[in-house]
Amino acid sequence: MDKKVRVRIAPSPTGAIHVGLARSALYNYLFACSHGGTFVLRIEDTDVQRSTEESAQAIIKGLGWLGITFDEGPYYQSQRLDIYRKHADQLLQSGHAYRCYCTPERLEAERKKADAQRRAWRYDRRCLNLPEEERKKFEAEGIKPAIRFLVPEGSTSFTDLIHGSITREHKDIDDFVIVRSNGIPTYNFAVVADDHLMEISHVLRAVEHISNTTKQILLYNAFGWEIPAFAHLPLILGEDRKKLSKRHGAMSLAEFRRMGYLPDAMVNFLALLGWSPGGDREIISRQELVKLFSLERINTSNAIFDMQKLAWMNGEYLRTMDLPKLLEVFQEWLRFQEIELPAQYSSKDFLSKVLPLIAERSRTLAEVYDALLPYVCDDLTYDEEGLNKHFRKDPAAVKRWLLLYRERLEKLHEFNKETAEGVLRELVEELGIKAGEIIHPVRIAVTGRTVGPPLFDCLELLGRERVLERLKNLPV
């Protein structure tokens, strides 16, 4: 690549940071990292009504959580209005733009008329060559003009790095507004001024913007500016093949964080949402992503957001995490969720024993927390199906076995997983029953669950006192 790589994301801060924006940010970040380039954050907050600083902060925080850092910015468009005004004047002077005094009411009436006649509406250039007197009249009436771009005849072609050659006839493009009558620039105008002034070399953004690109190129040409390379990233669809939206459940980064997804797993998953390194590799570390990422391997076809795959991937990251890291991410998640464990169970010592056993069977940190509950809280909820299956068929016999087991545990000199297993095996022999007939009900009685770490590990984790207590207060 001969040109210095400078990329950006330019989110409008009008809500939570969603997965589409996170994916765009990640691709820009990976592209910048792999080319020693610069990643810029620009907040496109010219829509004063809908933009909030809170949302801008949520975007910055969400990207930070994913470990996606930017090198420049955030720049705020709302602080750059003078720049856009100056550049609009330049286009007015060069004849590439003109003032338009048409009121919204007039334009709306025209649009309705066209609709009724079933023809496409285009601005009729009524103000293009407005006689000086009329202009003065409007000014005297206090009408503030918008500024429209004068779309030339012909067509524009460009080569999208993902979608290939794209051509659009200008006759399909209106003389679009570049500065509204209130002095605020439109997206297409501000984005061009900024991408030029910020020396953006590659614009990698969602495919929804592909139709804006022609208008933007027309503006670059009018200014005589160099045009950046464009690459439009594939759409992200839900499993129902409809465009991903709130209907599909958790789509903001904060929600994924609450659900206990790990930043590394999210990054890995988002990277594969429209890109692949070739072959069928799925687990790819951040460092490898930087090495492997290339625009050539971005798909043209839509990506499907597969929640099951994300959960599986997160589980893989949890399973292979070393203990200090596991402790760190879990405690960080508890803080984020504002959950406080009872003091006696929040020590590193206790968590170091229990977390590896339950993380192995969990896909998210929320699942880890759920599996931890029987060990940190005495108010058990019992699995109804488990009770039906393992208790209710012959409650009297089960109760008798469990109380016998309890007696033996009480008498043990030393209580640990080996001794607890030893006396259970003896009892099974003596009673002439199958081990499962007592193991399953014991598990439910002491944890409320039918699944979990090996039973005797559970007993040791709980400690004799709590095991005896729970075997006394049986659920049935």
Q: Which is nearer to ligand GLU, 178 or 191 (CB)?
A: 191
Which window, 9-17, 97-105, 143-151, 369-377, contacts ligand GLU (CB under 6 A)? 9-17
Minimum Å gap between C-beta 12 and ligand GLU is: 4
Query: Which residue is it, tokens 């503006």?
Result: 219
Which window, 7-15, 98-106, 126-134, 291-299, contacts ligand GLU (CB under 6 A)? 7-15
Q: Which is nearer to ligand GLU, 15 or 356 (CB)?
A: 15
Three-state SS string across 96-152, please? CEEEECCCHHHHHHHHHHHHHCCCCCCCCCCCCCCCHHHHHHHHHCCCCCEEEECCC
As a whole number of angstroms, the distance between CA 394 and CA 232 comes to 64
Query: Which residue is it, tokens 């559970």?
Result: 458
**40 to 69, contacts with ligand GLU by CB under 6 A?**
44
Minimum Å gap between C-beta 10 and ligand GLU is: 4
Task: Read off the DSSP letter of residue 72.
Answer: E
Q: Which is nearer to ligand GLU, 12 or 314 (CB)?
A: 12
Q: Which of 7, 10, 25, 253 binds ligand GLU (CB under 6 A)?
A: 10
Minimum Å gap between C-beta 21 and ligand GLU is: 7
Which window, 5-13, 143-151, 239-247, 323-331, contacts ligand GLU (CB under 6 A)? 5-13
Q: Which is nearer to ligand GLU, 205 or 440 (CB)?
A: 205
Which window, 8-16, 122-130, 159-167, 356-364, contacts ligand GLU (CB under 6 A)? 8-16
b/e string for 257-279 if b means 16 or more Cβ within 10 A? bbbbbbbbbbbbbbbbbbbbbee
Q: Which of 23, 35, 168, 205 binds ligand GLU (CB under 6 A)?
A: 205
Cβ-proximal residues to 211 (8 Å cutoff; 6+ apart), any chain: 168
The half-sphere exposure of 143 on its side-chain side, counting CA atoms within 13 A, is 17
- Contact indicator for 278, 297 with CB cutoff of 8 Å: yes
Long-range contacts of 46-55 (CB under 8 A, 24+ apart): 46/77, 46/78, 46/184, 46/185, 46/187, 46/190, 47/12, 47/14, 48/78, 48/184, 50/12, 50/14, 51/12, 51/13, 51/14, 51/78, 52/13, 52/14, 53/13, 55/13, 55/14, 55/15, 55/16
Residue 77 interacting with ligand GLU (CB under 6 A): no
Binding mask 206-235 for ligand GLU (x = CB under 6 A): ---x--------------------------
Minimum Å gap between C-beta 378 and ligand GLU is: 50
Q: Among all residues, which ones are annotated catalytic?
A: 246
Q: How many residues bind ligand GLU (CB under 6 A)?
A: 7
Residue 6 interacting with ligand GLU (CB under 6 A): no
Residue 12 interacting with ligand GLU (CB under 6 A): yes
Q: Which is nearer to ligand GLU, 45 or 383 (CB)?
A: 45
- Contact indicator for 5, 38 with CB cutoff of 8 Å: yes
Q: Which of 151, 191, 193, 273 binds ligand GLU (CB under 6 A)?
A: 191
In Å, the largest CA–CA distance within the chain is 111
Question: Interface with ligand GLU by CB under 6 A: which residues?
Answer: 10-12, 44, 191, 205, 209
